[in-house]
Amino acid sequence: MDTPYYRPRRLRRTEALRSMVRETRLSPVDFIYPLFVCPGKNVRKEIGSMPGNFNLSVDLLVEECRAVQALGIPAVLLFGLPPEKDEVGSDAYAEHGIVQQAVRAIKAALPSLLVITDLCLCEYTSHGHCGQLRDGDVANDETLKLLAKAAVAQAKAGADIIAPSDMMDGRVRAIRQALDAVHFENISILSYAAKYASGFYGPFREAADSAPKFGDRRSYQMDPANQREAIREVTLDIEEGADIIMVKPAMPYLDVVYRVKTEFDLPVAAYQVSGEYSALVAAHRNGWLERDRTILESLTCIKRAGADMIITYFAKDAAVLLR
Ligand code: PBG
C-alpha cells in the first residue's frame, strides 16, 4: 500500500500541535452580553425560560455590568421592561425611560464599558408589536419617527451604539439622520440587518415581556427560508449608514453569517438568541450534552462562520471557561 503523501492526523496528535494550527480562537472580547433592566430597587428576578438570566433593577444592573467588565467582556446590550406600556411605546423615547436610566447609571459607574441599546418598540407597546399599528399591522413610516426619537433619547443618555432590531424598512436612514441632526454623528449603528422571524426567540418573550398580543412578526421580520434576501437587507442597511451588521439568530443561520462576512467589508455580529441558549441549557441540565464543551463549541463555530462579535447569554460562562 502506498504511504499517503499527506496525513492530516499528524497535526492532531497533541493539544500543543492542535493549538498551533487552530484557525479560530475565542476570547472574551468577542462577546456582547445582553441584559434586561426593570423598574424598582434591589430586583433580581430570574427569567424562568432562560435560567441564569435575570430581570435586574438599575442598581443591581450596574453591579452586574461591573462583573461583566471584570471578566474582560467589552460590551453589554440593554433591553428594557418599562413600568407601563401603551399603544405607541412611549417609555422607549421618554427622557427618563427605563433604558435611558440604565444607560446613565452604567456610564456614570463604568465609563469604559461599551453600552449598546436595543432599539425596538415591542417591549414598550401594549400590543407587543415592534411599532405603531394601523389597520392591524405595523405601520412602517409612522414607526420610523418613533424609532428615531428613541435613538436620540438613548444617545442623549450616553449609549455608545444603537442597535435597531425592529426590521422596519428605512429605519437605519431615519435613525442616522435623527442622530446627526443633534450632533450624535459619532454614535454607531449596529443594525439587526438580517433578522429572521424565528421560533428561537421564544424564551426571550418572557424575558422582555414582549410577546405580540395578536398575530406574529412575519410581516416585518425575514422568512427563515431566504438567504439571498439577507444580502438585500444588509445592502440596504449599509447604504443607509449602518456601521456593524448583524445576523440573527446565529447557529441555524451560519450560512447567512458566512455569506454576509464574505460579501461585505463591515464588521459582522451574530446573535446566539434565547432559544439557542435555553435549548443548550436544558440539554446540559438533563445531562444530555457536556456543558463547557458545547458552550465553547457553539461560540467557536459562530466565530468560524464569520462573526466578528457574538451576542450571547453565555458570555460570562464562556469568559470564565476561557480564563
Ligand atoms: C426585539 C428583539 C427580540 C429579540 C431581540 N430584540 C424579539 C423579537 O424580535 O421577537 C430576540 C432575542 C432573543 O431571542 O434572544 N424585537
User: DSSP string covering 300-313, please?
Assistant: HHHHHHT-SEEEET
pLDDT tens digits along 76-125: 999 999 999 999 999 999 999 999 999 999 999 999 999 999 999 999 99
The pLDDT of residue 297: 98
Please identify every stretch of the chain with a pLDDT value under 50, giving residue numbers as ranges: none
CA distance 272 to 71: 19
CATH classification code of 23-321: 3.20.20.70
Domain residue ranges in the chain: 23-321
Helices (H), the chain: 15-20, 58-70, 98-109, 140-157, 171-181, 202-207, 228-240, 254-263, 274-285, 291-305, 315-321
In order of 59, 207, 299, the CA distances from 38 in angstroms are 10, 10, 28
SS3 percent helix, strand, coil of the chain, rounded to 5, is 45, 20, 40
45 is catalytic: no
DSSP 217: S
CA distance 26 to 133: 42
Nearest atom within ligand 1 for CA of residue 204: 14
CA distance 242 to 164: 10
C-alpha cell at 165: 432590531
195 is catalytic: yes
Nearest atom within ligand 1 for CA of residue 202: 14
Q: Rounded to the nearest whole angstrom, what is the distance from the C-alpha of residue 164 to the centroid of ligand 1?
A: 11
**CB-based pocket (< 6 A), ligand 1:** 118, 120, 122, 130, 165, 201, 204, 217, 273-274
CA distance 46 to 43: 10
Q: Determine if the pTM surpasses 0.95.
A: yes
The pLDDT of residue 1: 65
Candidate list 107, 149, 195, 316, residue with the active-site label:
195
Count Cα neighbours of 251 within 13 Å in the Cβ-side half-sphere. 19
The pLDDT of residue 208: 87
CB of 114 closer than 8 Å to CB of 140: no
The pLDDT of residue 3: 75
Candidate list 85, 248, 303, 316, residue with the active-site label:
248
CA distance 206 to 7: 51
Q: Rounded to the nearest whole angstrom, what is the distance from the C-alpha of residue 181 to the centroid of ligand 1?
A: 28
The pLDDT of residue 2: 74
Helical (H) or strand (E) element with 40? none
